[in-house]
C-alpha cells in the first residue's frame, strides 16, 4: 500500500468550512497537514484537531512556497503521494479509493478529479463534462491534485516566483515534461463554493439587458482585486515564455485575452484593473525564466 497524505493551504479560512474539509480528509489518508500563510485566525486553526500537523508562516508567502513546504514535510515522513487542497473545497469520501487504482502505474505522475462549482445558493455554475471512466489531461487545479513526491522532486518543485496563479499549470507542465501522465479520475469529484459573484459594471449591465432572450446568459464575475489580476497577467506571460516550445502560445494568449476583456467590460474598477493588466504584462515580459 502506497503512503498517501494530504495538505490544506490556508489563509484566513472560514473555520467551519475548514473543519468539514479536514474531517473528510482525515478518514481517507494517513496524515493531514495544514500549511498556513499567515492567517489572523491561526490559533483557531490549531485548535481544530490536535492530530493534524500545522506549519505556520508569519506572513503570506504565496501558494507555491506553501506547497513546496507541504511536499517537503511529506517527503521527510516517507509519503509517496500528496493530496493538496484549498481551504474552501470539499472532496468526496471516495477520492483516495478512486485514486488508488492508478497510483501503481509508473507512467502516471499526477491525478485529478471532476470539478463542480456552486454558488452559495447551491446553483451549479460549472461541472466537468465527460462520460469516460478517466481522461488524460494536460492541466488541473492544485485543489484535489494528487502529486507523486518523486515527480515533484525530479521536476524541481513548485516555482516560488509565481506566488499565486499558474502555480498549478506550471507543475502540470513540469510533470508532462518528465514524460509522466496526468489522469483525471471521473467517478469522483470536488465541490468548490464560489459564492454569487459580484455586481456587474454599468457597461456590463447594459450588455446583459440588451441581449436577446435566446442569447441571454447570466454573467458571473468576481471582481478580484487588481493585485490578483496583476499576478494572473504577469504569470500567464511568464508561463507562455517559459513553455513556448511545449504549448500552443496562440491558444493560451487567446484565453488570457478573452478573460481580461471580460473583466474590463463586466467588472468594476476599470482603470485599476487596466493598470494592473499593463503592469502584469510588463513584469511578465521582463521576468527571468527559472527552472
pLDDT at 266: 85
Section 97-120 average pLDDT: 94
Identify the pLDDT of residue 216.
45
Residue listed under C-alpha cell 503592469? 279
Domain housing 112: 4-193
- Shared domain for 73 and 116, answered yes or no, is yes
Domain boundary at 167, 193, 219, which? 193
pLDDT higher than threshold 80 for residue 139: yes
What is the CA angle 83-27-137, rounded to 5? 30
Among 193, 216, 244, identify where a domain stops: 193
Q: Can you say how many angstroms the Cα of residue 268 is from the centroid of all Cα atoms in its chain?
A: 24
Looking at the fold, whether 161 and 24 belong to one and the same domain comes out as: yes
Q: Is 291 a domain residue?
A: no
Per-residue pLDDT at 125: 80
Q: CB–CB of 98/188 below 8 Å?
A: yes
Average pLDDT over residues 220-247: 90
pTM of this structure? 0.90
> Is the predicted pLDDT of residue 75 greater than 50, yes or no?
yes
Does the pLDDT value for residue 121 go beyond 80?
Answer: no
Chain mean pLDDT for the chain = 90
Q: Is there a single domain that holds both residue 179 and residue 46?
A: yes
Look at the chain and report how many structural domains it folds into.
2
171 & 209 share domain = no
- The mean pLDDT value for 231-247 works out to 97
Amino acid at each position: 500500500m502506497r503512503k498517501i497524505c494530504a495538505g490544506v493551504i490556508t489563509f484566513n479560512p472560514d473555520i467551519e468550512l475548514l473543519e468539514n474539509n479536514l474531517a473528510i480528509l482525515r478518514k481517507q489518508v494517513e496524515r493531514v497537514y495544514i500549511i498556513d500563510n499567515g492567517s489572523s485566525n491561526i490559533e483557531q486553526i490549531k485548535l481544530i484537531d490536535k492530530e493534524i500537523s500545522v506549519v505556520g508562516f508569519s506572513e503570506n508567502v504565496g501558494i507555491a512556497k506553501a506547497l513546496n513546504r507541504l511536499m517537503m514535510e511529506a517527503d521527510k515522513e516517507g509519503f509517496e503521494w500528496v493530496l493538496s487542497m484549498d481551504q474552501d473545497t470539499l472532496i468526496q469520501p471516495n477520492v483516495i479509493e478512486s485514486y488508488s487504482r492508478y497510483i501503481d502505474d509508473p507512467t502516471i505522475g499526477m491525478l485529478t478529479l471532476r470539478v463542480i462549482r456552486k454558488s452559495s445558493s447551491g446553483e451549479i455554475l460549472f461541472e466537468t463534462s465527460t462520460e469516460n471512466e478517466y481522461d488524460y489531461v494536460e492541466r488541473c487545479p492544485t485543489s484535489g491534485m494528487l502529486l507523486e513526491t518523486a515527480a515533484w522532486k525530479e521536476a524541481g518543485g513548485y516555482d516560488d516566483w509565481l506566488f499565486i496563479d499558474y502555480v498549478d499549470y506550471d507543475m502540470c507542465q513540469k510533470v508532462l515534461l518528465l514524460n509522466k501522465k496526468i489522469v483525471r479520475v471521473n467517478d469522483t469529484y470536488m465541490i468548490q463554493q464560489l459564492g454569487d459573484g459580484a455586481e456587474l459594471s454599468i457597461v456590463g449591465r447594459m450588455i446583459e439587458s440588451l441581449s436577446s432572450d435566446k442569447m441571454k446568459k447570466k454573467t458571473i464575475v468576481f471582481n478580484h482585486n487588481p493585485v490578483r489580476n496583476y499576478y494572473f497577467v504577469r504569470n500567464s506571460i511568464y508561463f507562455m515564455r517559459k513553455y513556448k516550445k511545449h504549448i500552443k502560445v496562440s491558444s493560451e494568449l487567446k484565453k488570457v485575452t478573452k478573460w481580461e476583456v471580460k473583466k474590463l467590460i463586466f467588472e468594476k474598477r476599470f482603470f485599476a484593473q487596466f493598470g494592473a493588466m499593463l503592469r502584469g504584462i510588463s513584469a511578465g515580459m521582463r521576468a527571468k525564466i527559472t527552472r
